[in-house]
Each structure stands twice: as structure tokens, then as C-alpha cells.
Amino acid sequence: MASAGKIGEARLVRSGAGSFALRLSCFMRVLPETNPTDWLGVDIGIVNLAADSEGHRYSGAKVECVRTEHVKTRSRLQKAASEKAKKGQRPKNIKRKLKTRSGKESRFMKDVNHRISKDLVAGAQGTGRGIALEDLQGIRGRNRLGKQTHTRVNRWAFAQLRSFVVYKALLAGVAVVFVDPRNTSRECSECAYTDKRNRKTQAEFRCLACGFTTHADLNAPCVIRKRAAVSRPIVSRPA
């Protein structure tokens, strides 16, 4: 990965009533981007926070579990706060607890995202591969994550993982390409036949045209990988 950075300027800024934040800027050495000869397709989602075309899956189960706990605690605290308010008491302590809770939750998620993105970039670095992600710009209107998003992993966590992958790749000199995200879960990674019915269940992918069968989580990253090769053709450099 990148070598240690050099600290630039520091600024103390007010970040709310009675609290300050120290903002440090830091110069990092960015490794020169290597010309990729192949791509590691990465699908970022919810059931799996990430799955790559090598078959590595980063399950969202643990995150989901911690999150459910947080949701329970939060609603218990909120209930306690409103009961206090009804009695005309100020729920100051509870509000403080709620704030601590949400801080804990986002730190946990951030840590998970750091670890996954580090792993993904390490999987591509030094192998001659770049990383291919779905291009989610301009499709904000479409609900990529489905209805479950609100109760499950937050949108910001999903975006954070993507941005961590991108900046860690940049530091490591790993190229990143964004591919068309349409039908990545419906297209066969073997023959490119696209049909909603290829995806039999949440878990099973079976191509109606060529019979290729795999775990649905593993098909999409392979489609992403193939699209990357097309969208950014690999031209061998003259010796």
C-alpha cells in the first residue's frame, strides 16, 4: 500500500455547540497506476457487502446482526426519552446516550468498510489487475438496493465502501473502471444471455440458454469483470 503520508496544515473548526474538530490535511504518496491486463469484478450490495469475481464474499450477516442490536437499543432509548418528556422532565442523559450509540454504529461500519476495501484492493494489487465496479452515477432514481434499505444497511454505508475501494485503489496504483450496472444480476457471465428467469432464487443462478449454474452472488462480479474488459479494452503496450 501507500507509504506513510506527510502532515500538512491543521485547522481547528467548530463542529457544533461546545465541540470542535481538528482537521488535518495530509500528503500521501500515490503509486503510479499500472496498466491492467485483467480486472477484478466487484459487486457491492447488502446480503453480501461485497463479492468479487474470484469468488470471495464478504457477508453482511455480522453487520446486520450488530445493526439490529443498535436499532433495538435506539428505540428503547427513544421511548424512554419520550416518556420523560411527557412527565415534563428533560431527557438530557438519554439524548447523550443516543448520540454515543449512533457514533458507535458508524465507527463499526466504517471499520468494516475499511477492512473489506483494503482486502479487495490487496487482491488486485500486484496481480496486473484493476478493479471494476458498477457505475452508479445517474441512476439514483432507480432503487438499486430495494425496499429493505431503510431497515438494513444504510445507503451511506454502501456509498462509503465504494469510495474506500476507489481511494485505496488510487493510493495503491490500482486502476478502477466503472461499468454499466444494468442487468448485472440477470446476465449470464458465460454466454451473456440476459433473462430475469436466469436468476431462479436469491441464491441460484442458472442460465436458460447455456445451462451455466453458479451461486447468484458469484455471477454478477464475473459479469462486471467482463464488461470492464469491453469498456476499457486492454491494449498491450509495444515493448
- Give φ, ψ of 20 to 5 degrees: -125, 155
Task: Mark the segment that binds Zn ion (CB under 5 A) among 66-74, 89-97, 113-121, 187-195.
Answer: 187-195
Please tell me whether residue 177 binds Zn ion under the rule CB under 5 A.
Answer: no
Q: Which is nearer to Zn ion, 135 or 190 (CB)?
A: 190
Determine which residue in the list 5, 203, 210, 215 makes contact with Zn ion, applying CB under 5 A. 210
Q: Is 206 in the site for Zn ion (CB under 5 A)?
A: no
Provide, rounded to whole angstroms, the least separation between the CB of residue 194 and Zn ion: 9
DSSP tag of 171? H
Of 136, 129, 119, the C-alpha closest to 58 is 119
The CB-of-223 to Zn ion minimum distance in angstroms stands at 11
Q: How far apart are alpha carbons 117 and 159 in whole angstroms?
A: 12
Choosing from 207, 218, 222, 223, the residue that interacts with Zn ion (CB under 5 A) is 207
Question: What is the dihedral sign for C-alpha 139, 142, 146, 148?
Answer: positive
Out of 42, 116, 132, 188, the residue judged to bind Zn ion by CB under 5 A: 188
134 Cβ contact partners less than 8 Å away, ≥ 6 residues apart: 43, 44, 178, 179, 180, 181, 184, 224
Tell me the site size for Zn ion, rule CB under 5 A. 8
Residues near Zn ion (CB under 5 A) are: 188, 190-191, 193, 207, 209-210, 212
